[in-house]
Structures are given as structure tokens and as C-alpha cells.
A and B are shown apart, each in its own frame.
Chain A
Amino acid sequence: DQQVKQNSPSLSVQEGRISILNCDYTNSMFDYFLWYKKYPAEGPTFLISISSIKDKNEDGRFTVFLNKSAKHLSLHIVPSQPGDSAVYFCAASDGPNTNAGKSTFGDGTTLTVKP
């Protein structure tokens, strides 16, 4: 049973528009969520995170929203730029004593931003 799901394998948006990437989880013990960005043949790089005590975290063009009751989070990118084209992974971890890097990952969403 996949505990972190990204139901959209791909998303295509026009440059300057908003990109919304979605993620659902099933494990109610998850309390810390991260988004990573990955280019082909490279390792993921951290983008933004959110703790379950918050419902929103913003960093520049990137905002993550968390809806705990729905077990759903989303990443908003505004405005989208061609350089944002990459695979985006949602990840979740449980418990404050969990190792920071020990996360459960979704399958990723490939974002393409068209000029």
C-alpha cells in the first residue's frame, strides 16, 4: 500500500502561470512533509517543507499548503518558469525523532513549463 501518492504523473503549464502539484498521504502519523526537485540523472534537491503544525509555508515563488483533515498537500509555483521543468517528489516522515532524511516518497510528478 503506497503511503504517499502523487496521482498526476505529469503536468504542463505555460510560463508565467501557476503550477499546482498535488500529493496525498494515508499514514496519519506523518507530521513533516517535504518537496524535492529532481533533474534527469541528478540527485533530488530540497525545495520546501512544512510541519503538521502549520497549514502553509512560503518561500519565494514556492508555497506548500497542508490540509491535515484531507491528508493532502500541494505545491504552488507562481509564476512558473521554464527552469522549473523537472520531476517533483513529495516526501513525508513521521515523528520528531525520525531521522531527517528517512522519508517515504511519492512517485513524482514531471512538470513541464512551456515558454
Chain B
Amino acid sequence: DGGITQSPKYLFRKEGQNVTLSCEQNLNHDAMYWYRQDPGQGLRLIYYSQIVNDFQKGDIAEGYSVSREKKESFPLTVTSAQKNPTAFYLCASSTSLRLSSNTEAFFGQGTRLTVV
């Protein structure tokens, strides 16, 4: 059963601590993404990766870091430098390039991070 899995579903972090959110996919997709959603807002792109060992900053990369050592995995670290980390984080994957037919991103269930 192919899909994309994020863990944990809920995460609490003390101020000043780094925390890593997990994202795994078994869809054989080359590209993976991290988005952030705040209440009443759309999704904003944090980082994306088109291929293993390569990734690019999105619109709001400051205070975050990622790695892409395996095709299946794209973990996101929220560092202490992120000023407002409390949010809903969504991981997604897709084919690397847009195809002529319907092509879309497949999203995980999300991780809600709360800084306490």
C-alpha cells in the first residue's frame, strides 16, 4: 500500500531545542517537499528535493534544515533559530518533473508541532 508517512503526528518542543520531523515515502517518487501551514493560511514551501543528495530552499527556509540521503526519506529539522515554529508541517512527494497528464503532489498526514 503505497503512501507517504509522517511521524510523529503531534510533537512538543521546548524553546531553544532542535527537533526533527520524519517523512518517508514508498511511492518511488524522486521529488519531496516540506510545507508549513499556519491557521487560516495556505501552505508555504520550506524546502524541496528533486533527487537524492540535493535540495533547495523554498520560500521560508530560515530556521530549518533538511537532508536527503535516501530516496525514501526527507527529514526536516526545526532549529532553535526558527522564531515561530508552532505550526502544522506537511511533507509531500511527486514525480520529479511535471508530466503531460495529471500530476500532483501526494501529502502525508502532517505533524503538528507545538513549542512549549
* A44–chain B nearest beta-carbon distance, Å: 5
CA distance A91 to B90 in the complex (A): 15
Whether B66 is near chain A, meaning CB under 8 Å from some CB there, is: no
**Given A32-B98, A42-B109, A43-B92, are A100 and B103 neighbors across the interface (CB < 8 Å)?**
yes
Q: Are B48 and A4 in contact (CB under 8 A)?
A: no
How many A-B residue pairs lie within 8 Å, measured between CB atoms?
Answer: 86
Q: B11-19, B36-44, B75-83: which one contacts chain A?
A: B36-44
CA distance A101 to B110 in the complex (A): 16
Q: Which residues of A contact B (CB under 8 A)?
A: 4, 6, 9, 32, 34, 36, 41-46, 49, 89, 91, 93, 96-103, 105-108
Could you pull out 15 A-B pairs where Cβ atoms are within 8 angstroms?
A4-B42, A42-B109, A42-B110, A43-B108, A43-B110, A45-B107, A91-B43, A93-B98, A96-B98, A100-B96, A100-B105, A101-B31, A101-B93, A102-B48, A105-B43
